[in-house]
Amino acid sequence: MARMPGAAWRPVVNTHKNGVLEHRGLVLHVQDGTNSPHGFFNNPAKPVSSDFWVSTAGRIEQYVETGVDYAFAQHLGNPYYASVETEGHPDTPLTAAQVEGVAHIYAWGNSTFGWPLHVVDSTTQPGLTWHGVGGDAWGGHPHCPGDKRKAQRGRIIARATEILALDTDGEPGIDLGRLIALTRSDPGAAQDHPTYPDGVRLVAGALHAEGLLDNINNDGHFGCLTITAYAAWQRRLGYEGAAADGVPDQPSLTKLGQRHGFMVTA
């Protein structure tokens, strides 16, 4: 899976298809600017881009098929490491929301590609590294992302470790990406479409307890009745029109889990 659940998917033209050679980890960058760089990254006249961008408020945008296609972020390092741009400037630290956002990206990379949970100052070792360490071979950006942001990488890894531990300890976790995949699969294609019995059971049980779903069938599919019930749950939370489409999303599923004893994982 190359797209991260919870990130806004905004593909750009500045990408090298099927160019990734290894999944060594993530390179931390600073935007040295504000607002989404999507338009800039989608302009073929200037071949620059990144896998991810995290705003100061914690919004995550994803621009390329991470782990498959590479972005144009760190020159010779592109085929080996994914990249995250962080809104703001090299002389200011990441906001708490940005630390959280980058940690979620890293936790997803750990579960998806096996990015190891540690900080490195290297262009070859796997882990969370930084742009300037690559010198000219990585495009010659010695001040990216700046000392303050570099120093926050330990906190990012610690938080990513916590996020991953939450996924397996205590309350059961529901993988939002797997749930969404169920709702997208064609019910007519009976044989090999995906199932997720544990996740569906938790959600259906919670919807039943809310009085929104009469019968719980436990075939592991997120069927029409469940989608209808989930849309009713979204409307109860204030979602209107097309927003209440019955496809689980992070805020509504988190709310449901808080009331019924499960947590949402990436």
Contact with Zn ion (CB under 5 A) among 15, 101, 105, 131: 131
Number of residues that bind Zn ion (CB under 5 A): 4
Amino acid present at 244: A
* Contact status: 104 vs Zn ion (CB under 5 A): no
Amino acid present at 184: R
29 or 159, CB closer to Zn ion? 29
* Contact status: 29 vs Zn ion (CB under 5 A): yes
CB of 114 to Zn ion, least distance (A): 24
**Spatial CA neighbour of 5 closest among 233, 253, 187, 207:** 253
71 or 229, CB closer to Zn ion? 71
Sequence-distant contacts of 188-197: CB under 8 A, at least 24 apart: 193/221, 195/219, 195/220, 195/221, 196/220, 196/222
* Contact status: 149 vs Zn ion (CB under 5 A): no
Of the listed pieces 26-34, 49-57, 171-179, 185-193, which binds Zn ion according to CB under 5 A?
Answer: 26-34
* Contact status: 24 vs Zn ion (CB under 5 A): no
Of the listed pieces 52-60, 86-94, 129-137, 186-194, which binds Zn ion according to CB under 5 A?
Answer: 129-137
* Contact status: 264 vs Zn ion (CB under 5 A): no
Q: Which of residues 199-228 bind Zn ion (CB under 5 A)?
A: none
CA 93 to centroid of chain Cα atoms: 21
Can you read off the two tokens belonging to residue 213? 């779903």
CB of 72 to Zn ion, least distance (A): 11
Q: Are the C-beta atoms of residues 83 and 71 closer than 8 Å to each other?
A: yes
CB of 134 to Zn ion, least distance (A): 9
The b/e string for 141-178 (b: 16+ C-beta within 10 A; e otherwise) is beebbbeebbebbebbbebbbebbeebeeeeebbbbbb
CA angle 179, 220, 206 (to 5 degrees): 70
* Contact status: 150 vs Zn ion (CB under 5 A): no
* Contact status: 153 vs Zn ion (CB under 5 A): no
| Residues at the site binding Zn ion, with contacts judged by CB under 5 A | 29, 131, 141, 144
